[in-house]
């Protein structure tokens, strides 16, 4: 049984004219933990933005290996239709990273990504975390939640463990931001 993390009514106008979008007016959006059946939609969303150089790509294998980190936004009336996703990756007893926040193309700027991030922050609080960080190309989005920009070198070395596998390791152009809980 899935656990509902967050509910919110979306009041903005629908965007059904765009590919992949359906009208959202009046729909209740829930954020729940991801399931195996969500991986294909998550992969499609994340890699859509990765192709545009807006985030790093993810392979199916990476998503399956870290599935327990992910939460997804869905319509309350259609729990199988993934509208957005994001993950909270734990690093230490007091530290985690928000990763791979993506929204179904065509319904961006409707509050779905914000719902996902809010749910991930709340999940972090429930674990008793002291700090959540993000590497991002869109600092304005994360600053709305209280994240502040910091120098990469100010981050604990353990966060760079996975950076070694990144194709942009030597030329990282993402900004580091932290949120103190």
- Comparing 174 with 83, the larger pLDDT belongs to 83
Domain ranges of the chain: 4-180
* Higher-confidence position of 179 and 2: 179
Which of 7-16, 55-64, 115-124, 150-159 bottoms out in mean pLDDT, i.e. has the lowest?
Answer: 7-16
| CA–CA distance, 132 with 129 (Å, rounded to integer) | 7
Residue 93 and residue 64 in contact, taking contact as beta carbons nearer than 8 Å? no
Between 28-37, 88-97, 152-161, the lowest mean confidence (pLDDT) is in 152-161
Average pLDDT rounded to a whole number, residues 17-37: 70
**3-class SS of residue 90:** strand
Q: pTM score, two decimals?
A: 0.82
Q: Which two tokens stand for residue 160?
A: 């760079």
Please give the angle made by the CA atoms of 95, 98 and 99, to the nearest 5 degrees.
Answer: 130
CATH 3.40.309.10 fits 4-180, yes or no: no
131-161 pLDDT, tens digit per residue, is: 999 999 899 999 999 999 998 777 765 566 6
Supply φ then ψ for residue 4, to 5 degrees.
Answer: -80, 125
């Amino acid at each position: 049984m899935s656990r509902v993390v967050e509910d919110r009514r979306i009041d903005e106008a629908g965007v059904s004219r765009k590919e992949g979008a359906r009208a959202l007016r009046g729909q209740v959006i829930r954020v729940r933990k991801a399931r195996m059946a969500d991986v294909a939609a998550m992969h499609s969303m994340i890699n859509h933005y990765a192709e545009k150089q807006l985030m790093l790509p993810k392979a199916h294998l990476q998503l399956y290996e870290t599935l327990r980190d992910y939460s997804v936004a869905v319509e309350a009336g259609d729990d199988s239709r993934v509208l957005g996703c994001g993950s909270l990756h734990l690093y230490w007893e007091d530290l985690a990273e928000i990763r791979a926040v993506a929204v179904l193309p065509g319904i961006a700027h409707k509050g779905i990504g914000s719902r996902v991030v809010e749910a991930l922050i709340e999940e972090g609080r429930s674990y008793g975390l002291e700090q959540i960080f993000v590497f991002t190309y869109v600092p304005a989005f994360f600053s709305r939640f209280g994240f502040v920009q910091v120098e990469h070198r100010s981050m604990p070395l353990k966060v760079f463990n996975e950076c070694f596998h990144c194709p942009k390791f030597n030329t990282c152009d993402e900004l580091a931001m932290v949120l103190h809980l």
